[in-house]
Amino acid sequence: MPGNTFGHLLRLTTFGESHGPALGGVLDGVPPGLELSEADLQRELDLRKPGQGPTSTSRVEADLVHIQSGIFQGKTTGTPIAFIIQNTNQHSSDYDELARIFRPGHADFTYWAKYHGYRDYRGGGRASGRETAARVAAGAIAAKLLAQIGVQILAGSVELGGIGCDELDLPGAIGRPYFAAQASVIELWDQAVQQARKQHDTLGGIVQIEVRNVPAGLGEPVFDKISALLGHGLLSVGAVKGIEFGDGFQAARSRGSANNDLLLAPEKQGALPGFASNHAGGMLGGITTGQDIVMRVAVKPIASVPRPQKTVDIDGKACEITIAGRHDLSAIPRIVPVLKAMTALVIADAWLMQQSLG
C-alpha cells in the first residue's frame, strides 16, 4: 500500500535510492521448478544499461545483479527471489546543489512536499530512473515464466522527437539502435538527437508493446480489467504520460461498425474463434481475447535539460539552476526494457490468477 509493491499473486517489492548502497527487489509468488540464473536477469539489465547509445548518459554502471534467495540447484523453489544491484559509480557531489533547489520537471519538490522535507536528494533518490533496474530484473523472471507457456513480449520505439515509424517490425527492434521498430528511421532519429544535443535540449517519444500468443481469459472484471492492470503498471514508470490500447485515441474517432472486430469461425475443430481485425488491442470487456495485446505509451522528454532554468529553492526563493550530472538525452531507448518488464509482470500475474480457477 505505501506504493513499493506491485502485483497480486506475482508480487514485486522494490527498494533503493540512486546514490544509496544498493537497489533491488523481492519477487514473491514465482512457481517452483522454473530454471533460473543470474544470467537471465543480467541479460535484460544489460539492455537497460546506461552508456551504450546515442541518447545515453556517460554514467557507466555495471548494474551487476546478485540473487540472494529463492533459487536452489538452478531452479526456483516457490519462495521469494531477492536480488541486489550495488550502486558503484556515484558522483554524489554532482548533486550537492539539489539539497536546496527544486529541479523543474523532477520529483524534487513533490517528494519534499509529501515527506515533510525529508528526502535523499542525491540523483533524485528514490525517484531516480535507476529504480527501474529492479523492475527489469524482476520482469526477466516473469518473462521466463511466460515463455514456458509460449507467451512472448515485444517492444520497440515507434516515435522519437516527433518522427514516427510507418511500418513496424517489433521482433527486430531489440537488435537496432534506439530499439527502433523500423530500420529506416534510425538515420532520421540520429539527426534529431544531434540537433537536440546541439540545442541543449532533450527528446521524448512513443513505445509500442505487444504481447503475443497470450491465452484468452486473462484479466479480471470489473476493476482489474487487463487494460487497467497494464495501465497501472506502465503508467507507474517515470516519464510515461499516456497509454492507449489497440486503436486507442483513434478509436474515439472511429464508428462502431468500423471499430468492432468481427469474430471468425475457429481455424480447426476445438480451437477458439478468431477475429477479422484487432482494433481492440487484444481485449474485450477487459479480458484477453487471445489476439495480440497492443499498447502504445507516450514518454515525455528528459527533464534534465542541460541549460539554465528558472526555479525556486526550499525556502521559496526564486533562483536558477543548471543541472550537472550525467543524463540521458531521451528516455528512449532505455525505457523499452522497463516497459517490457512491467508488461511481463502484469501478464504473468493475470495468468496465475486465471490458473486459480482450475
Residues 277-316 interacting with a second copy (rule: CB under 8 A): 280-281, 283-290, 298-305, 307, 309-312, 316
Instruction: Considering the complex, state which of residue 60 and residue 216 has its C-beta at the smaller distance from a second copy.
Output: 216
The alpha carbon torsion through 335, 336, 338, 339 (nearest 10 deg) reads 110
Span from 45-53, 57-65, 174-182, 227-235 in contact with a second copy (CB under 8 A): 227-235
Mapped onto helix, strand or coil, the DSSP state of residue 203 is strand
In whole angstroms, how close is the CB of 256 to a second copy at the nearest point?
Answer: 3
Give yes or no for residue 238 binding a second copy (CB under 8 A).
yes
**Of positions 233, 325, 333, 337, contacts a second copy by CB under 8 A:** 233
**Of positions 15, 60, 90, 324, contacts a second copy by CB under 8 A:** 15
**Of positions 39, 58, 118, 198, contacts a second copy by CB under 8 A:** 118
Q: H or E segment at 217?
A: none
How far is it, in rounded angstroms, from Cα 34 to Cα 346? 18
| One-letter amino acid of 179 | F
Give yes or no for residue 68 binding a second copy (CB under 8 A).
yes
Mapped onto helix, strand or coil, the DSSP state of residue 334 is coil
**Of positions 63, 210, 247, 292, contacts a second copy by CB under 8 A:** 247
Give yes or no for residue 263 binding a second copy (CB under 8 A).
yes
**What phi and psi, each to the nearest 5 degrees, are found at residue 311?**
-160, -165
* Residue 81 DSSP class: E
Nearest to 209 by CA among 226, 224, 191: 226
Residues in the interface with a second copy (CB under 8 A) total 158
How far is it, in rounded angstroms, from Cα 356 to Cα 208? 30
The pairs formed by 304-312 with CB atoms below 8 angstroms and a separation of 24 or more are: 304/103, 304/105, 304/106, 304/202, 305/105, 305/200, 305/201, 305/202, 306/200, 307/200, 307/201, 309/103, 309/104, 310/104, 311/101, 311/102, 311/103, 311/104, 312/101, 312/102
Instruction: Considering the complex, state which of residue 154 and residue 329 has its C-beta at the smaller distance from a second copy.
Output: 329
How far is it, in rounded angstroms, from Cα 31 to Cα 232? 24
Give yes or no for residue 150 binding a second copy (CB under 8 A).
no
Give yes or no for residue 225 binding a second copy (CB under 8 A).
yes
Mapped onto helix, strand or coil, the DSSP state of residue 117 is coil
Span from 51-59, 88-96, 179-187, 220-228 in contact with a second copy (CB under 8 A): 220-228
Instruction: Considering the complex, state which of residue 171 and residue 271 has its C-beta at the smaller distance from a second copy.
Output: 271
Span from 50-58, 90-98, 109-117, 179-187 in contact with a second copy (CB under 8 A): 109-117
**Of positions 2, 167, 175, 198, contacts a second copy by CB under 8 A:** 2
In whole angstroms, how close is the CB of 286 to a second copy at the nearest point?
Answer: 7
In whole angstroms, how close is the CB of 348 to a second copy at the nearest point?
Answer: 11
